[in-house]
Structure 1
Amino acid sequence: MSRRSSRVSMTGDNGEFYLECKAAYLSIYESVKDEIDSVEDLVQVLQQAGRNPSKKVLAKYWKSDTEHLTFDEFVDICKKEKATTADDLMKAFRKIDINGDGYISLEELYKIMTTKGEKMSRSDVKKMIDEVDENKDGRLDYGEFCKMIMETTEECKKVSRKIMEKKELKRRKEDQTKTSYSERPMSASSRSNKGASLAGSRKSLLSVDDLPKPSPRNKKSKGPAAASLAKLSEPKNLKEWTHATSKGMFYIDEETEKLLCHQYNLKLTEDTSVWITIQPIKTRCQADSDQVIDTGLFILRDKPDEDGNVLITFTRHRDAKGKYGVKCSLDAGNYRIIPFTTASRLKKRESDPSSTAKLLQLKDGKYTITKAFRKVLEDIFDLSDLDGNGTMSREEFNWYNIRTSDEEVGDDEWEVVEERLELEDGEITKNGFLQLNEMEAEDSNGDEDDMWVTLESLGINKELVMDEACPFVIDVYTEDCDDAEFKVDAIEDMMDKLQRPLCQSVMEKGEATKVKGMKDLTMYTYMSDTRATIVVDNKSYSSVRLNLDCSGSRNCLTNQPSLDETFSVKSQSQIIAYHFTPKNEDDEWNVKCEESIQK
């Protein structure tokens, strides 16, 4: 259906239908020109329009070779697939009423909302019941259940219509003034879209058993990862937002072999929309490779919510240059920003190089740094200049010192820096940093050991190649908070604070498969265009050993030593079993996993 034909029919009932479709679309996307680029997004926008598509229905419109759907194609789907009927409601009611007593209890509704569809807390589910529980018996009869669904659907329509009207009003003002301003992102806004989001959670009850749940045993990508990578959908008026930036690095700790990284604190004094990106940095001392080391971000609350959760959101979309980005709305407060990598490409080196580069040379009776060492030091300075202003502040020098010597820079040490090194506005220049290393070279009497300790702590091998570290840059944009504070908070084990949020993200966004042979053992698989992650959730009171044979996967790299591993999962716990990335992004890739319980 062409865009022109749909607009011509905007009269009477057809016009109201079109507006409802448009409002549903704009509650998720910024413009009707945006395209639906995944089956998950198709489910979401159809739910906003009051539809609850089954797996069979989705297969009619999202085929194996489908890459995207336009707004007009979405309108056409809504014409063919009718909104929820009374019969649909009765079927849904009977599915949720597990014991068949004619009522839906808090436990029955909570079980559905924590195993299927969008995940909700117990308190959120109780609020849903309380809103329509007229006789206050703590459960829903059929009439109350229907009221909950239908009132939520109408609320969703109203919220969607308001979002659409606000965006169109802003566009008209922009057209009149001929400015470059564009609408504020609304799809992730907790303030304006809160009702629509809750509506989506409630409406998903209608077909929880019919939604597509491909088994992680054979999870296929849509095709080559590179084919689906495009320019990130960043806010159009981004130049007007407040910008803060910081560099950082992933390091493989030489002793523990854990992945360490810079971690950040974001302080907001006002509620605001944010746009945050992370991208790997290429330096001269890195190993030559056409493949990008994957990076990502998790945004966490500073303190857990009432259910003990800290996860707010994480990056899922990436462009062809390796940049990941995420948009969301945050309330005033403190947040932790933690970088993430699957470590499928960033691994401990298998062996040391056969040759060792020279760091020092004897010249005119004294030791100085070699030309090759100087180039590496210049790269190190650039990476340690976290804010990219061309100089190294005391705080930046302190983070460099913590990483390379496990010690902070004291007042006495900083006084020496101020006295002996070249500074600019109280910060160390690149020439001053080289002076520091020249002084150390002169004092060394030709002993390079301490210098190699520094280099190895930064992931640089004996040939002066950075092969056990990955530098990155993070950019934070805030729309309504002009004094946002974004700075390094620690250099710590990446998974120390990410273990639970990462498991939560996979269990919320991934697809679940029950493991045969054990009732309370579930395997979740999350798969994006460039990453797949498998989490195993053991809700039983017994520990279990689970073998996952993924050797049938194609074109995959993984963080594990092999594609056939056995994992121990303690009772009442979750583990991250595998991360995968495509070995070659220009080729199709798939994850195939066969699981078996080990006795």
Structure 2
Amino acid sequence: MAASPGNDAVFTCQKSTLSGIPGTKKSPLSEEEIFYMNCRAAYLTVFKSSLENIISKDQLCLALQHAGRNPSQKIINKYWTPQTAKLNFDDFCIILRKEKPTSKAELLESFKQLDVNDDGCILHTDLYKFLTKRGERMTQEEVNAIINLADVNADGKFDYIKFCKLYMTTNDRCLKTTLEKLEANRKLRLQQFGSHFEGSPERDPSPVPKPSPRVIRKSDQETVSNKGEIRNSLLSATRKFKASVSFMITLAANSNQNARLMEPNLKDWQCVQSKGCFFLEDDGEIISHQYKMQIAQRSMVYLTIKPLNLSQVEGKSSPWLSVDTALYVVKESESEAHPQLVCFTDLRNREVFGWTGELGPGIYWLIPSTTGCRLKKEIKPITEEVQLVYRDEAGRLCLTSEFRSTLSDVFEVIDLDGNGFLSLEEYNFFELRTSGEKCDEDAWAVCRENFDTKKNELTRQGFLDLNLMEANDREGNPLDLWVTLHAMGYNKALELTEACPFVIDLYAEKCKPRIKAVLMEACSGQLEKAICKCVHSRGDAKVMDGYDNIIIHTFSCDTWITSTIENKSDNKVIIHINNELSENCVNNRGLNIFAVEVAPKSTMVCQHVMPLNEQQEWIYHCVFSLIS
């Protein structure tokens, strides 16, 4: 019979992971709950749903690896016999109960048997003989992939201590990432997995899934000797990292390099301006305004984007001013299936990013972008909530001075053309962001009748009065007002921490340019394609050793580094990314070690990296390893 979950080593290593996930229940999870959560997390790294079945040995091996196991071919054959057609999630759970995770100590002990000098390293010649000449043999290509792994090989030696650390950390990080996705996705959390329901109070406190007839066979009941299993685990561990490439880039402090963007003589150039904002969603996704630009005739163009300089209150932080900004210019053409990337604002002067060049007549998309390295979910708790409204001596409801100042800043952000008034179109961007609904012409007419307007546009005072009316409608309850403020990126201290307003300036030498915000959506899709094209055309490319269809592209400038992964193969791949050797760096994912899945025939942005302190040298050292 399977061992009790309390004896499973996976529980010990994952308790800390579970406790660190936002939204996890405060009460301690039982060993059984932890076991099933880990089973779900591992299963969902391979399959989109628990209702999908394992239909091949490769899928079984991959799912077991994501659950922290190192299945040898002998173990795989034990559960996947010639009579096996498929395994379900319950079968998977039973296998995990029987097959314990390999510990770091076991892996180290396996390698130490070959460490003749007891220095933590194995000669490549000895490793090659061991892996190709005895027991479950590896191919020459597989061994070469191990020997070529970056940062664990040097001077003809394999550093198995570093490798074991890399391997164990990969297991923990991959599982943590999947657990976080599982916790954030309510639909997946409530999904039925086999015979087990999460959060069902009626269930047996120690349920055991009903096994599938396909799994329980005579061979499963046999006691398998541990002799040789440590060596098999070693083979499986080394196979997990099929190949790797690494990038190392050293960049000087930016303090002396910020004058690269040179402003042309704009004396007779015509200018237009538009504002916008990056908003950070609860799931970490960033959305922003997107624009269409019209150039009437061929002309030199000067284009810049920078954070919007709002009023700054003494004692309150202004973190949005340090957020990086960029613009990608994409040419719209009816004759082309895919829009053409024209340029992006890669030159910088302090907080301003810009581009100068000639553009032909036509319609262009302007797609704002930020790496997300400095626009992240706020971690520090806000203990004291700012008061938004109060009652005067006559009992009338009033807005506090702090709230009025914040609303004035919000007005500045949503007044996209900067004329000091809100049009219906501008106001609807605000409404879509804060309530998800638009204001129609009839509602706008009512608004004009009750609040201060000028030429069919809402004034700043009218906007303040509109919010006061909302407070009065709720009899002073500020709950709805806080919903609006949070949607606009403000915390309980009225600090703008999860949004970055920006301003775009567009100059043209020979014509009057036009720019108009047309939508607000996630910074993905068209932007992702534009970033990938830019990185591929201007960055360095390295092919994964032994895998010509997997290419890592890296583009660096003074301000940030972007990496993309191109998968030309017909199968999805999982790439492990290790930034531990980088210095003075921060990335948009918030993890030094993580894994990404790249779909077949696709390219994805892997990560953006920026210096933590721009006044100091920063070293980007990243290792990309193929693990499946």
TM-score, shorter chain, exceeding 0.5: yes
Deviation at 1:216, TM superposition (A): 5.5
Q: Which amino acid aligns with 1:315?
A: T
Deviation at 1:289, TM superposition (A): 4.5
**Whole-angstrom CA distance in 2 between matches of 1:481 and 1:334:** 14
**Whole-angstrom CA distance in 2 between matches of 1:294 and 1:305:** 34
Show the counterpart of 1:368.
Answer: 398
For the pair 1:577 / 2:611, whether they are aligned, the reply is no
From 405, 408, 411, give the equivalent of 1:378. Answer: 408
Please give the residue correspondences for 1:130-279 in structure 2 after superposition, counting only pairs within 5 Å.
Answer: 217-221=247-251, 223-230=252-259, 232-236=261-265, 238-254=266-282, 256-279=283-306
From 469, 481, 490, give the equivalent of 1:439. Answer: 469
Q: 1:434 to 1:306 in 2, by over 3 A?
A: closer
Q: 1:287 to 1:304 in 2, by over 3 A?
A: farther
Deviation at 1:521, TM superposition (A): 1.1
1:234 match: secondary structure: coil
Please give the residue correspondences for 1:206-355 in structure 2 after superposition, counting only pairs within 5 Å.
Answer: 217-221=247-251, 223-230=252-259, 232-236=261-265, 238-254=266-282, 256-283=283-310, 284=312, 287-289=317-319, 292-303=322-333, 306=336, 308-320=338-350, 322-350=351-379, 352-355=381-384
Deviation at 1:489, TM superposition (A): 0.7
Deviation at 1:331, TM superposition (A): 2.0
**Whole-angstrom CA distance in 2 between matches of 1:352 and 1:287:** 15
Deviation at 1:287, TM superposition (A): 2.9
CA contact (8 A) 2:289 2:519 kept: yes
Q: Which amino acid aligns with 2:523?
A: M
Q: 1:380 to 1:289 in 2, by over 3 A?
A: closer
Q: Which amino acid aligns with 2:539?
A: G
The normalised TM-score by structure 1 is 0.61
The normalised TM-score by structure 2 is 0.58
CA contact (8 A) 1:538 1:574 kept: yes
**Whole-angstrom CA distance in 2 between matches of 1:589 and 1:266:** 36
Please give the residue correspondences for 1:87-102 in structure 2 after superposition, counting only pairs within 5 Å.
Answer: none
CA contact (8 A) 1:301 1:336 kept: yes
Deviation at 1:559, TM superposition (A): 0.3
Please give the residue correspondences for 1:376-525 in structure 2 after superposition, counting only pairs within 5 Å.
Answer: 376-482=406-512, 484-525=513-554
CA contact (8 A) 2:371 2:588 kept: yes
Deviation at 1:581, TM superposition (A): 0.9
**Whole-angstrom CA distance in 1 between matches of 2:273 and 2:593:** 40
RMSD of aligned residue pairs (Cα, Å): 1.9
Deviation at 1:271, TM superposition (A): 2.1
1:454 match: secondary structure: helix
Deviation at 1:400, TM superposition (A): 1.6
2:620 match: secondary structure: strand
1:436 match: secondary structure: helix
Q: Which amino acid aligns with 2:302?
A: W
Aligned residues: 380
Q: Which amino acid aligns with 2:426?
A: E
Q: 1:591 to 1:304 in 2, by over 3 A?
A: farther
For the pair 1:567 / 2:596, whether they are aligned, the reply is yes
Q: Which amino acid aligns with 1:277?
A: T
**Whole-angstrom CA distance in 2 between matches of 1:411 and 1:556:** 50
Deviation at 1:290, TM superposition (A): 9.7
**Whole-angstrom CA distance in 1 between matches of 2:419 and 2:267:** 19
Please give the residue correspondences for 1:116-127 in structure 2 after superposition, counting only pairs within 5 Å.
Answer: none
Q: 1:308 to 1:386 in 2, by over 3 A?
A: closer
Deviation at 1:305, TM superposition (A): 6.4
Show the counterpart of 2:386.
Answer: 357
Moved over 6 A (4+): none
Q: 1:514 to 1:293 in 2, by over 3 A?
A: same
Show the counterpart of 2:578.
Answer: 549
**Whole-angstrom CA distance in 2 between matches of 1:529 and 1:335:** 27
Q: Which amino acid aligns with 1:465?
A: E
5+ residue gaps, structure 1: 1-214
Show the counterpart of 1:24.
Answer: none
Show the counterpart of 1:98.
Answer: none
**Whole-angstrom CA distance in 2 between matches of 1:291 and 1:581:** 15
Deviation at 1:355, TM superposition (A): 2.1
CA contact (8 A) 2:586 2:611 kept: yes
Structure of larger gyration radius: 2
5+ residue gaps, structure 2: 1-244
CA contact (8 A) 1:261 1:491 kept: yes
CA contact (8 A) 1:556 1:589 kept: yes
CA contact (8 A) 1:216 1:511 kept: no
CA contact (8 A) 1:260 1:491 kept: yes
Please give the residue correspondences for 1:3-22 in structure 2 after superposition, counting only pairs within 5 Å.
Answer: none
Deviation at 1:372, TM superposition (A): 1.2
CA contact (8 A) 1:368 1:442 kept: no
Sequence identity, in percent? 33
> Could you give the per-residue CA deviations for residues 160-185 of structure 1, whole angstroms, max 9, x where no partner exists?
xxxxxxxxxxxxxxxxxxxxxxxxxx
> Could you give the per-residue CA deviations for residues 5-62 of structure 1, whole angstroms, max 9, x where no partner exists?
xxxxxxxxxxxxxxxxxxxxxxxxxxxxxxxxxxxxxxxxxxxxxxxxxxxxxxxxxx
Mean CA deviation greater in 430-439 or 572-581: 430-439
Q: Which amino acid aligns with 2:534?
A: S
Deviation at 1:231, TM superposition (A): 5.8
Show the counterpart of 1:154.
Answer: none
> Could you give the per-residue CA deviations for residues 373-392 of structure 1, whole angstroms, max 9, x where no partner exists?
11101111111111222222
Deviation at 1:488, TM superposition (A): 0.5
Mean CA deviation greater in 537-546 or 574-583: 537-546
1:233 match: secondary structure: coil
Q: 1:443 to 1:290 in 2, by over 3 A?
A: closer
**Whole-angstrom CA distance in 1 between matches of 2:553 and 2:332:** 26
Q: 1:231 to 1:517 in 2, by over 3 A?
A: closer
Show the counterpart of 1:171.
Answer: none
Q: 1:308 to 1:411 in 2, by over 3 A?
A: closer
Deviation at 1:563, TM superposition (A): 1.6
From 564, 567, 577, give the equivalent of 1:535. Answer: 564
2:582 match: secondary structure: coil
CA contact (8 A) 1:550 1:564 kept: yes
Deviation at 1:519, TM superposition (A): 2.1
CA contact (8 A) 1:249 1:470 kept: yes
Deviation at 1:275, TM superposition (A): 1.1
**Whole-angstrom CA distance in 2 between matches of 1:446 and 1:308:** 52
Deviation at 1:398, TM superposition (A): 2.1
1:257 match: secondary structure: coil
CA contact (8 A) 2:255 2:615 kept: yes
Show the counterpart of 2:236.
Answer: none
Mean CA deviation greater in 458-467 or 421-430: 421-430
